[in-house]
């Protein structure tokens, strides 16, 4: 079966992103760029895309397409179903490039321009076949962000545009059909307004660039990421809805809050238009439902940022460090006078993004909680970040989990850890997860100490082994926990 072919004319950051999106979705990609460094630059973009894009979906992407570089535009567009122009943002250069493309490409091919500002009618001026040229404006990184602003003119038929949309959607894009052509389309006009106001705030000494970025990423930027502008304001209007919000904050448009003072008058007609569109957009949900949807999305996004220690997630990590500092979870074995009882290794609430379609904690998250308990115990015996960076760690060799009761979002869980054995390279742990006094699950884990240099079992450092043996000796007097050594499916 022959693969579909895409041609990329201009292999910079945007063109390289287009190439990666097509290639990783199974298309063969033919590239023209006179820059002698083009192959290296596109290759670096491809490396980033291979690292990030395949994990965005939970099913394997098609076999990666073949990338080839061509000395001429004619060679690059030969056999292409989609041609993406991403040359410099100068209309004369685009006209020359589009003319060369149309001399050689199939009349049936879609020719998309990545232009961020020019209208499609400007691109179509003097074209051999204006009906095959559209604006297909992406957002960087093209291989990850879904939005493509598709801007047509009357020269483009409905069937042609529907075909273009079908191609884009198959690659995970969201083609936003712009109703009327306008300079800079939709998103960049919005971004330009924010950009201009930011420049004034810096120039007038009101804020630094970092303070402006923090205002966005710690506040409204996260809300916009999951609800956009109008739906966010609908929720802000409370039970009274969008009309109430506009009535309350509409007068602010007349106040000198911004340098951009040319705003439309808040007539009844405009209020009704926006409120009606907001009803169409969000009216299927009550305000309380929208608030819960918003909160779940915010938690999920900020916890993703937390894993990367970035933006709002870095703030959460800093708060967590403060909370942990004054709790029993901060203690080391050497700091404890009595280690005869199972040790508290996890004390936390079940977050919203740990629940599944059954409304309770996903089974994978039980493993995560027990992994966190193991990590905490490792810290307690001295196998901490500093020790691991020096080349020693424990690797899990075997795990067995029993699911005893449900845990719902918000449930406060404790994990208590018993050392079944600990000597030499071996560590055998048994975790019990509780909500209050209710047993939720158990996890039995066998680990080996390894050298991170050889990736093979090795003896732990004396201070780690001493702490482990102390706990193991103390716990030897405990009763064997229920479920220890259980086989899968074995009756209680």
Order across the sheet with 67-70: list the strands.
67-70, 28-32, 5-9, 82-85, 110-113, 133-137, 147-151, 174-177
User: Taking the CB of residue 5, how many other CB atoms lie within 10 A of it?
Assistant: 23
Rounded Cα distance, 442 and 400, in Å = 8
DSSP string, 431-443: EEEEETTEEEEEE
As to burial, measured by CB atoms within 10 angstroms (0-12 exposed, 13-18 middle, 19+ buried), residue 213 is: middle
* Tokens describing residue 79: 């056999």
Residues annotated within the binding site for NAD(+) are: 10-15
3-class state of residue 134 by DSSP:
strand
User: Taking the CB of residue 36, how many other CB atoms lie within 10 A of it?
Assistant: 7
Q: Angle 287-307/312-325 helices, nearest 10 degrees?
A: 80
Cβ proximity of 24 and 99 under 8 Å: no
* Tokens describing residue 12: 């910079």
C-alpha distances (whole Å) from 484 to each of 50, 53, 105, 343, 398 are: 42, 41, 69, 17, 13
Question: Which element (helix H / strand E) includes 30?
Answer: strand 28-32
Q: Angle 13-24/38-52 helices, nearest 10 degrees?
A: 50
Residues annotated within the binding site are: 10-15
User: Taking the CB of residue 255, how many other CB atoms lie within 10 A of it?
Assistant: 8
Q: Could you check whether the bond before residue 141 is cis, i.e. omega within 30 degrees of 0?
A: yes
């Amino acid at each position: 079966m022959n693969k579909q072919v895409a041609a990329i004319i201009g292999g910079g950051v945007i063109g390289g992103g287009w190439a990666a999106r097509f290639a990783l979705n199974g298309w063969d990609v033919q590239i023209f760029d006179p820059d002698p460094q083009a192959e290296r630059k596109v290759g670096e973009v491809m490396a980033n895309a291979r690292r990030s894009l395949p994990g965005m979906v939970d099913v394997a992407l098609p076999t990666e397409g073949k990338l080839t570089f061509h000395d001429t535009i004619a060679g690059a567009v030969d056999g292409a179903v989609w041609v993406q122009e991403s040359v410099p943002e100068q209309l004369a250069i685009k006209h020359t490039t589009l003319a060369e493309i149309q001399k050689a490409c199939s009349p049936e091919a879609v020719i998309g321009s990545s232009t961020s500002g020019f209208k499609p009618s400007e691109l179509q001026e003097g074209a051999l076949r204006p009906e095959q040229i559209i604006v297909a404006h992406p957002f960087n990184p093209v291989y990850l962000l879904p939005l493509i602003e598709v801007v047509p003119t009357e020269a483009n038929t409905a069937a042609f545009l529907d075909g273009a949309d079908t191609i884009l959607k198959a690659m995970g894009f969201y083609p936003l059909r712009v109703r009327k052509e306008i300079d800079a389309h939709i998103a960049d006009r919005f971004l330009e307004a924010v950009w201009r106001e930011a420049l004034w705030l810096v120039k007038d000494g009101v804020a630094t660039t970092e303070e402006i970025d923090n205002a966005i990423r710690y506040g409204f930027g996260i809300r916009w990421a999951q609800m956009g502008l109008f739906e966010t304001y609908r929720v802000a209007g409370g039970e009274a809805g969008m009309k109430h919000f506009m009535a309350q904050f509409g007068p602010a448009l007349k106040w000198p809050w911004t340098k951009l003072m040319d705003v439309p008058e808040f007539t009844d007609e405009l209020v009704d238009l926006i409120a009606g569109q907001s009803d169409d957009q969000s009216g299927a949900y009550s305000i309380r439902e929208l608030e819960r949807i918003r909160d779940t999305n915010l938690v999920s996004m900020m916890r993703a940022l937390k894993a990367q220690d970035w933006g709002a997630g870095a703030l959460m990590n800093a708060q967590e460090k403060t909370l942990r500092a004054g709790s029993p979870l901060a203690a080391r074995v050497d700091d404890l006078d009595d280690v005869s009882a199972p040790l508290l290794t996890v004390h936390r609430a079940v977050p919203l993004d740990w629940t599944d379609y059954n409304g309770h904690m996903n089974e994978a998250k039980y493993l995560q909680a027990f992994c966190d308990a193991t990590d905490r115990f490792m810290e307690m015996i001295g196998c901490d970040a500093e020790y691991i960076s020096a080349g020693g760690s424990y690797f899990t060799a075997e795990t067995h989990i029993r699911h005893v009761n449900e845990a719902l979002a918000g449930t406060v869980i404790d994990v208590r850890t018993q050392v079944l054995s600990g000597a030499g390279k071996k560590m055998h742990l048994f975790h019990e997860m509780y909500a209050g006094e209710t047993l939720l699950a158990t996890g039995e884990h066998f680990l080996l100490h390894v050298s991170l240099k050889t990736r093979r079992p090795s003896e732990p450092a004396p201070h780690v082994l001493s702490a482990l043996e102390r706990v193991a000796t103390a716990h030897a007097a405990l009763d064997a926990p229920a479920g220890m050594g259980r086989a899968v499916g074995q009756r209680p």
